[in-house]
Structure 1
Amino acid sequence: MEEEDVTSQFPAQNSHSENHDGGLPLFQVVVPEAVKRAENVMFTLQVTIVAEEKGLVLLRQYEDFEWLHHNLVTNNDIRGIIVPPLPVKPLSDPKSAESLSKKQMGDNTRIMRGDQFEHDCLSVQKYLELVLSHPTFGRDKMLSSFLTEQEAPVRARLNKGLITRLSSVIDTARKSNRKDVDEYYNTKRYFATEYSKAIKEASLNYNKLLVAQWRLSSSYSTVATELTSCTADRDEELVKLNRVLKALSDGCEDEATCYELKSAKGETTAGFFLDLFARYSDSLKDMHFRRVNDLIEYEAAEKALEKAKPPKRQAAEEAFETAKSNFERASENGKTELNRFTQIRLASSASFLSEYAELQVKISQDFYTQLLHSRRALDKIHL
């Protein structure tokens, strides 16, 4: 990987961040841009070491974040922990990007959506913010090295299933539907299941709205082009007609730009919030599943201890104490994590959704003024 030997001072610019205790985060990270390099997407990281007020500029590709995530999960005790979700891998293959664009916009569209790297940068930045502010991961040495060394860490080949499914060993109907011994966790597991369904459906439907806005933008652009493509002799009546068509074309172009902006800004505000917490909801369910697994192991160890014969009793007691300790730690951590997740969710919704509303109102007001000018231009044409 090429080195970026730029070292500078720059202010922290963490948007949509929450306030955290305990001296975290130790680093502040901004991801201002991403560029395609061969088959990879390279992210620029502006890292500020808070204690030293020192700035670094680093380059990382998506696979580096996968490796970081893998190490954070495997090198830390995550019993009762809601692990911040890893962002979705960006589309770097031109054919895949074109295929997705046609699927969203329609095969006959004249507009191809460009790279959505703004959304990807925001996703990576938010992931790092969540990890850096987390009491379990925020002081991890691997994370510190990742954000201070110019060269990305050497990666080993990963079983992707370990990253995307932390609960793979316990994802069975018997365990996921098992009644808990603590009514508090029964209630919270039910909420996690229903919340996951609702947030994923909301995210899916909102993405459909965004695609519809892009299609409307494409249609208005097509109409605008057709209105100005007519050519005729400089006859007086045709000159007037061309002026009318030009005014209508300008209005259509304004509408096209309006819908394009609404969709783009909606994608990085409300759309981003819904996508983030749709993935976060899986992390929430994973935490519950892992705790249920600890409960099952605890109960199995208890039964084994009751049936253990004298020669094996000491080993059974040790296994029971270990299982009991694991379950109690998962339960204790889980309550803290659930409260923390609620705070993050409410703070993020207030931040992203208020920004979404403000931007949508501003865009609508700006283009209402432009359309009003187009109407007045039509009124001035005497046929």
Structure 2
Amino acid sequence: MSSTLDENSKEKMRSVSVDLNNDASLLIDIPDALCERDKVKFTVHTKTTLSSFQKPEFSVPRQHEDFIWLHDTLVETEDYAGLIIPPAPPKPDFESPREKMHKLGEGEATMTKEEYTKMKQELEAEYLAVFKKTVQVHEIFLQRLSSHPILSKDRNFQIFLEYDQDLSVRRKNAKEMFGGFFKNMVKSADEVLISGVKEVDDFFEQEKTFLLDYFSKIKDSTAKAEKMTRAHKNIADDYIHLSATLNTISAEDTTANKKHLEKLSDLFEKLRKVEGRVASDQELKLTELLRYYMRDIQAAKDLLYRRARALADYENSNKALDKARLKSKDIAQAEEHQQHCLQKFDKLSESGKRELTGFKGRRVVAFRKNLIEMAELEIKHAKNNVALLQGCIDLLKRVGYTFQTLHKTKCLVRRMSSCLQSPLSFDHLCLTENSDSYVFGPSKRLQLPPRSLSGLSVHSSQSEALSVRGSYVGHGANTSGQLEVPRLHSRPRILQRSEGEGDQWKKEATLAE
């Protein structure tokens, strides 16, 4: 399965941007991407006025491994230890929609054709949503770098943007992956050791407490948001089955309920589309934002770890200097090391305060923007739901009233049939109420042979003003005429009658008075 990113998808994806790319001197976007199985090839487009680049505008192809390489080189650069390195975009994961598609294929025999088609469309939409989110997180990573006053000038970043050939970045082998795992274990143990180092700045102590608590709450909120989104997707899937079942029943129904069933089937199909959009918007505006800030908070915590490591090194250098002075040995070297550790710690503290302050402002702007947009979309979808449900209720009421009218018209014909001492039937019956028409031919319910009442129509704009007009034709001599019922509960009035069988017509005329 392969996918490409069209302009409409791109515009929708940009709507979740946190307005990072404000510097007009270096603008980066991903206008196109191609997915082939597990690999996604991104077209990275750059427009710049900076003299450090060879051209003012260019595009290069990149893969996910290239983004990971760029992130790792930034993290490993000592000069950037005091910066919050934007989190690396997660690896594209299309396994879930593929697995669902496989299960759908296995269960095709147990579904109706309509159910299968709609379920397949849902899964294709889910696959496309995953694809768009993959492009989005990779684009945001680059925009975070381009908007940073220091990271935007990194040489490796410029190579990533400008080099028009394959970067030939290979995936990590098993040994390197184990090395990274071991490094994380050492880091975790190191964090425990340096946690005993007394903080000398209240600002960083407060930030550490805040980030630990905030990360826990964001993680919990992410799990709840995923559960909420999944619930909306499940409701949309249930609507597919409801709509298909009602449609199947209506196709086999020959009674007056047919139109009710068709309208209900159509209602659930429309509700399915609305519910699908609700799930998609919640995923895009809330869940993805929470996931991103889980990674971004971890990047901020990594900054605090590097600073705490520098503080521990500085305190250890003080102890080493004290020992050197006691032994009167290597004092100059110890003093130089102590000064180096102090300068590094001060530099990390200065840039760290600036980065953490910027993180707070960026976070507030992002959440405010996305939560407002999501609330507006929720209101819009709720109004659509109400309009669909109310419209269906009104329609069913009209249909119910029309069939009530049909029943009373049937009773009227029976009364006339009794007066004429011969049964009548509907050869053709048309009921018109507002803009809806209901036509019944000889094969429908109302048959009272051997005589027929043809050309009968029922017109109604209000339930209090119903009129019935039509003509009837019998098999006897000259038994024809026209009738009218001005209001629903009025008695029939003969407009025109033929000659013959006078006693019967007089009886009917008397009844109509």
TM-score normalised by length of structure 2: 0.64
Query: Which residue, 337, 345, 349 being the options, matches 1:331?
Result: 349
Q: Which moved more, 1:150-159 or 1:297-306?
A: 150-159
What is the CA–CA distance in structure 2 between the aligned matches of 1:233 and 1:97, rounded to whole Å?
35
Question: Cα distance 1:262–1:28, how it changes in 2: closer, same or farther (>3 A)?
Answer: same
Unaligned runs of 5+ in 2: 1-13, 111-115, 404-513
Indicate the structure whose relative CO is greater, using CA pairs within 8 Å and at least 6 residues apart.
1
Paired amino acid for 1:243: K
Contact 1:167 1:289 in 2 (8 A): no
What is the CA–CA distance in structure 2 between the aligned matches of 1:253 and 1:162, rounded to whole Å?
53
Match of 1:45 in 2: 44
Secondary structure of 2:84's counterpart equals coil
Query: Which residue, 198, 201, 207 being the options, matches 2:220?
Result: 201
Paired amino acid for 2:188: D
Task: Provide, for residues 132-187 of structure 1, a one-character-per-residue CA deviation record: whole Å limited to 9, x for no partner.
Answer: 11122111121122122322423255445888999764323232464312222111
Match of 1:5 in 2: none
Contact 2:38 2:92 in 1 (8 A): no
Match of 1:348 in 2: 366
Secondary structure of 2:276's counterpart equals helix
Query: Which residue, 85, 89, 114 being the options, matches 1:83?
Result: 85
Paired amino acid for 2:392: S
Match of 1:151 in 2: 165
Query: Which residue, 184, 190, 211 being the options, matches 2:230?
Result: 211
Unaligned runs of 5+ in 1: 1-12
Question: Cα distance 1:351–1:233, how it changes in 2: closer, same or farther (>3 A)?
Answer: closer
Secondary structure of 1:134's counterpart equals coil
Paired amino acid for 2:30: V
The aligned runs of 1:1-383 (5 Å cut-off) are: 15-18=17-20, 24=23, 26-51=25-50, 54-75=56-77, 77-92=79-94, 94=95, 96-99=96-99, 110=119, 112=123, 113-115=126-128, 116-158=130-172, 159=176, 169-172=186-189, 173-176=192-195, 178-230=197-249, 235=254, 237=255, 240-308=256-324, 309-382=327-400, 383=403
TM-score normalised by length of structure 1: 0.84
Contact 1:25 1:138 in 2 (8 A): no
Contact 1:166 1:286 in 2 (8 A): no
Contact 1:28 1:50 in 2 (8 A): no
Question: Cα distance 1:322–1:233, how it changes in 2: closer, same or farther (>3 A)?
Answer: closer
CA radius of gyration, larger in? 2
What is the CA–CA distance in structure 1 between the aligned matches of 2:207 and 2:178, rounded to whole Å?
26
What is the CA–CA distance in structure 1 between the aligned matches of 2:195 and 2:102, rounded to whole Å?
38
1:273, distance to aligned residue in structure 2 (A): 1.6
Question: Cα distance 1:232–1:270, how it changes in 2: closer, same or farther (>3 A)?
Answer: closer
1:223, distance to aligned residue in structure 2 (A): 0.9
What is the CA–CA distance in structure 2 between the aligned matches of 1:197 and 1:101, rounded to whole Å?
34
Contact 2:42 2:63 in 1 (8 A): yes
What is the CA–CA distance in structure 1 between the aligned matches of 2:284 and 2:183, rounded to whole Å?
27
Higher share in strand: 2
1:44, distance to aligned residue in structure 2 (A): 2.8
Paired amino acid for 1:306: D
What is the CA–CA distance in structure 1 between the aligned matches of 2:42 and 2:247, rounded to whole Å?
41
What is the CA–CA distance in structure 2 between the aligned matches of 1:166 and 1:342, rounded to whole Å?
29
Paired amino acid for 2:26: F
Paired amino acid for 2:241: T
Question: Cα distance 1:44–1:85, how it changes in 2: closer, same or farther (>3 A)?
Answer: same
Contact 1:146 1:152 in 2 (8 A): no
What is the CA–CA distance in structure 2 between the aligned matches of 1:102 and 1:186, rounded to whole Å?
51
Question: Cα distance 1:164–1:137, how it changes in 2: closer, same or farther (>3 A)?
Answer: farther
Contact 1:66 1:163 in 2 (8 A): no
Contact 2:21 2:27 in 1 (8 A): no
Secondary structure of 1:35's counterpart equals strand
1:364, distance to aligned residue in structure 2 (A): 2.6
Paired amino acid for 1:170: K
Q: Which moved more, 1:148-157 or 1:293-302?
A: 148-157
1:121, distance to aligned residue in structure 2 (A): 1.6
Question: Cα distance 1:337–1:164, how it changes in 2: closer, same or farther (>3 A)?
Answer: farther
Question: Cα distance 1:352–1:101, how it changes in 2: closer, same or farther (>3 A)?
Answer: farther
Alignment RMSD, CA only? 3.0
Q: Which moved more, 1:74-83 or 1:62-71?
A: 74-83
Paired amino acid for 1:132: S
Secondary structure of 1:381's counterpart equals helix
